[in-house]
Amino acid sequence: MKTIYCIGELLIDFVAEKQGSDLSKANEFTKKPGGAPANVACAIAKLGGSSKFIGCVGDDPFGTFLLDVLKANHVDISLAQRSKYFTTLAFVSLAENGERDFVFSRGADKKLKYLPEVKKGFNGQMVHLGAATALLGGNLEEAYGRYFFDALTQNAFISFDPNFRGDLWKNNEEVFIKKCKPFVEKAHLCKFSLEEAQLLSGETDLEKACGHLHKIGTQIITITLGGEGTFVSTPTMKTTIPSIEVDPVDTTGAGDAFIGCLLYQISTLGKAEEILNDHELLHKMVKKANIAGALTTTGYGAIPSLPNLEALQAYEV
């Protein structure tokens, strides 16, 4: 089984207690672990995979809490860093339908340092880059770019999720699109939301959007569509793979559960690249990943709701 290095942010989500209210009206918040790449690392480890997290938290009680959660979920945190800056915080409110509204207060996540000795571990393994905060500048962006380059030179299987957050890129979408391009060009696998696929391609039609994104370079595109399932595209196949029916209460982390589950399955292949040419295998794996995403929406918070292998195996694929 390959190890999957998940690089990016780990932060506290303060989730508004009262569902259906926006952040301006929310009074009580519950502390939850968050950060998409960290969620992905947990999703992989919870299924029995091998994941290592590379990111930075503050040398404060929130940072300790976050690393404890990763450890408890069997994520290898030996490459996680701590900074004198305060742990990054996100405030989240949930609408009645489980959709979210975000506000970020950034701190330690942007202080991630590049460590050259990490590179040799990437050799022939897998690297997942989640970009919610990673392309916003500072040490994190530099470290992120250098780890990406290392992953390329070490023949790692590379996965990329742009994790576009509108409030982080206020009227700066063009910069975001430009910064994502090298990752879309070189990653073997990209996971987009519909909004991200449209934003990065400049096309509203899904097939046209994928055509454009394949031209940039990536070979496998998954576009997650919530309850509708996932649109999958390779240069020779395009199809929507349906999800299962669930009653969602909180969609936080569904996309991370999806990509974590897909990467976990790829990590069990003799050669990760097998997935690039075997459409039947890809179809099956996405179907399973859809179930992981769906199950995550049935509980509150991302990490506590991620399914383990037993929960997933209860469903026929």
Q: Report the interface residues with ligand ATP, using CB under 6 A.
A: 193, 224-227, 229-230, 243-244, 246, 248, 251, 253-256, 258, 290, 293-294, 297
* Least distance (Å) between residue 196 CB and ligand ATP: 8
Measured from the CB atom, is 217 or 248 closer to ligand ATP?
248
Helix (H, G, I), strand (E, B) or coil at 274: helix
Measured from the CB atom, is 200 or 254 closer to ligand ATP?
254
Measured from the CB atom, is 83 or 187 closer to ligand ATP?
187
Measured from the CB atom, is 4 or 306 closer to ligand ATP?
306
Angle between helices 36-46 and 61-72 (to 10 degrees): 30
Measured from the CB atom, is 60 or 101 closer to ligand ATP?
101
Q: Which helix (H) or strand (E) holds 125?
A: none
* Least distance (Å) between residue 316 CB and ligand ATP: 16
* Least distance (Å) between residue 243 CB and ligand ATP: 3
Would you state the structure tokens that stand for residue 226, as one six-digit string? 């919530």
* Least distance (Å) between residue 244 CB and ligand ATP: 6
Side-chain-side CA neighbours of residue 249 (13 Å): 10
* Least distance (Å) between residue 146 CB and ligand ATP: 25
| Buried b or exposed e, range 292-306, using 16+ CB within 10 angstroms | bbbbbbebebbbebb
Measured from the CB atom, is 55 or 253 closer to ligand ATP?
253
Would you state the structure tokens that stand for residue 165, as one six-digit string? 């957050």
Helix locations, 217-278, DSSP H:
254-267, 274-277
First to last CA, the chain: 21
| Buried b or exposed e, range 160-172, using 16+ CB within 10 angstroms | bbbbbbeebbeee
Give the separation between CA 220 and CA 233, rounded to whole angstroms: 6
Give the separation between CA 161 and CA 187, rounded to whole angstroms: 10
Whether 276 and 234 have beta carbons less than 8 Å apart is answered as: yes
Measured from the CB atom, is 3 or 197 closer to ligand ATP?
197
* Least distance (Å) between residue 149 CB and ligand ATP: 25
* Least distance (Å) between residue 191 CB and ligand ATP: 7
Which among 89, 85, 94 is positioned nearest to 9, based on CA atoms? 89
Which among 71, 104, 241, 112 is positioned nearest to 170, based on CA atoms? 104
Measured from the CB atom, is 243 or 265 closer to ligand ATP?
243
* Least distance (Å) between residue 302 CB and ligand ATP: 7
